[in-house]
Homo-oligomer: A and B are copies of this chain.
Amino acid sequence: MSFCQEEFNKLPTKTGPRPLSHSVSQLSADCFSSVGSVSSEDESPPQQKPQKTSKGLTDFCIKSIKQAAFGRKEIDIAQQGMPALMILRKRAGGEKPLAGAKVVGCTHITAQTAVLIETLAALGAQCRWAACNIFSTQNAVAAALAEGGISVFAWKGESEDDFLWCIDRCVAADSWEPNLILDDGGDLTQWIYKKYPSLFKKLKGIVEESVTGIYRLYQLSKAGKLCVPAMNVNDSVTKQKFDNIYCCKESILDGLKRTTDVMFGGKQVVVCGYGEVGKGCCAALKGLGAVIYVTEVDPICALQACMDGIRVITLSEVIRHADMVITCTGNKDVVTREHFDRMRSGCIVCNMGHSNTEIDLASLRTTELKWHRVRPQVDHIIWPDGKRVVLLAEGRLLNLSCSTVPSFVLSVTAATQALALIELYNAPAGRYKQDVYLLPKKMDEYVASLHLPMFDAHVTELTDEQAQYLGISKHGPFKPNYYR
């Protein structure tokens, strides 16, 4: 093992959260589709059960190939909400910009990522795919992918060993040497870096979406050990200012309604954190007539909340009156036992933030409190005096667990990932060095433009005179890179 590898190994498996970030792909993670999962699945380990597609393919490992038709239907529905990828397929036409590309991927396996994977294939890439989360795989979708010829290794409910086995099967295969990585979380990258260092050095590039994965890559780059160019999709404008806001705006009401049937009108809701996620949640809640309070650490975000007509207050001050508490901070222990003890009966507590640390659950696991599972994802925690607090998804992400995320919002990130792969694969030598890059502004703009037809939106074209006056090209980029 090289020194380089050792370095990577030192990276924490679970790095600390970054306050600003919020991975949409994690959000959408295993969002159960509205159909829900077929319940009576065969429970034998997929590894021990060789399966065959209708065309006789066997190079995959999933729960059950029989679910393929159902999964295909879900993929079809998702396609209708992901116009950009469909346009990319059409535009490429005979050209195949990824011809020769061998993409190894590790993402959530959902109808939406299936659309991405099949787009890469349509553009000429060979793909092998694993899941980045042991719970989030939609088995029917995995089946449809396999039936469609993608070598998928993933199922819902993998063990940790299964997880790595699947990744390894994606990387190591006969007559297959991947030249591109599409990663969400950095586990695949780390695996190749550690186990297949020579392969790692030959890569044409890495595309990474998650905060955690990006953090690892920057650390590696700082240490001078990143041997290939990497694209940071997480910090693109469209991710930060589009996905993070609208994804939460669209899903917060849904997640709360599906679990609790709660009425929003007139309810006093505390939103902890007024970053992109908090802003999205507040916008939606305001639309249905909730009375909103925000807690904030950062005075700039606090000032924005004020100007937007929201009272900024500490959680301790407002907790007695709260009907709901929604955490969106990326921080830990934002809601503590002390807060819980002062809540009114019936208060609903949930998390829309980065990880499952925001609510101090440990403090609720004490003998005097009774936990009562009243519905899936819904626990009543009962105090000795009869007070009940309603905890959703055990403090995990609400929209990951209890709502769906519109395909369209995911489409923006997926299109960015596809373009990042195309860019890395086709870039002339020297354009990208061994570093972490943001996607060029112009590509951000291109991704956005691919989504406008969905809205019948017509952008205005600059005249030559106007472009000259502004000192920019008629075709963009229209803003400096730092503009958000």
A residues contacting B by CB (< 8 A) are: 16-20, 33-35, 73, 77, 80-81, 237-238, 241-242, 246, 249-250, 253-254, 257-266, 268, 283-284, 286-291, 295-300, 302-315, 317, 321, 330-333, 345-346, 357, 374-375, 403-404, 406-409, 444-446, 448-449, 451-452, 454-463, 465-466, 469-472, 476, 478-480, 482-484
**Chain B residues with Cβ under 8 A from A469's Cβ?**
16-17, 331-332, 357
Q: Are A457 and B246 in contact (CB under 8 A)?
A: no
**Interchain nearest-CB distance for A290 vs B (Å):** 6
**What separation, in Å, do the CA atoms of A403 and B258 have in the docked complex?**
9
Q: Are B444 and A300 in contact (CB under 8 A)?
A: yes
Q: Are B458 and A298 in contact (CB under 8 A)?
A: no
**Chain B residues with Cβ under 8 A from A375's Cβ?**
34-35
Q: Are A263 and B298 in contact (CB under 8 A)?
A: no
Q: Are B287 and A308 in contact (CB under 8 A)?
A: no
Pick 19 A–B contacts, CB within 8 A, sort by A.
A35-B375, A77-B374, A241-B304, A254-B258, A258-B258, A261-B406, A262-B406, A263-B406, A265-B308, A284-B288, A289-B307, A299-B445, A303-B452, A306-B452, A306-B455, A312-B452, A314-B460, A331-B470, A483-B484
Q: Are B455 and A312 in contact (CB under 8 A)?
A: yes
Q: Are A448 and B482 in contact (CB under 8 A)?
A: no
**Chain B residues with Cβ under 8 A from A249's Cβ?**
265, 288-289
**Interchain nearest-CB distance for A410 vs B (Å):** 10
**Chain B residues with Cβ under 8 A from A451's Cβ?**
303
Tell me the number of copies of this protein. Answer: 4
Question: Which of B253, B403, B458 lies in contact with A317, CB distance below 8 A?
Answer: B458
**Interchain nearest-CB distance for A366 vs B (Å):** 20
**Chain B residues with Cβ under 8 A from A345's Cβ?**
80
**Chain B residues with Cβ under 8 A from A462's Cβ?**
297, 331
Given known contacts A310-B291, A456-B321, is B346 in contact with A80 (CB within 8 Å)?
yes
Question: Which of B17, B289, B315, B456 lies in contact with A460, CB distance below 8 A?
Answer: B315
**Interchain nearest-CB distance for A97 vs B (Å):** 21
Q: Are B311 and A457 in contact (CB under 8 A)?
A: yes
**Interchain nearest-CB distance for A448 vs B (Å):** 4
Q: Are B250 and A288 in contact (CB under 8 A)?
A: yes
Closest 10 CB pairs of A and B: A287-B287, A263-B406, A312-B457, A289-B309, A299-B449, A266-B306, A299-B448, A484-B484, A298-B478, A265-B307
A309 closest partner in B (C-beta): B289
**Chain B residues with Cβ under 8 A from A449's Cβ?**
299
Question: Which of B20, B299, B312, B444 lies in contact with A480, CB distance below 8 A?
Answer: B20
**Interchain nearest-CB distance for A451 vs B (Å):** 6
**What separation, in Å, do the CA atoms of A163 and B264 have in the docked complex?**
36
**What separation, in Å, do the CA atoms of A456 and B298 have in the docked complex?**
15
**Interchain nearest-CB distance for A132 vs B (Å):** 22
Q: Are A472 and B19 in contact (CB under 8 A)?
A: yes
**What separation, in Å, do the CA atoms of A312 and B456 have in the docked complex?**
8
Known: A253-B254, A303-B457, A332-B469. 9 other contacts (CB 8 A): A16-B471, A237-B300, A249-B288, A253-B257, A266-B455, A286-B309, A312-B452, A312-B457, A314-B459
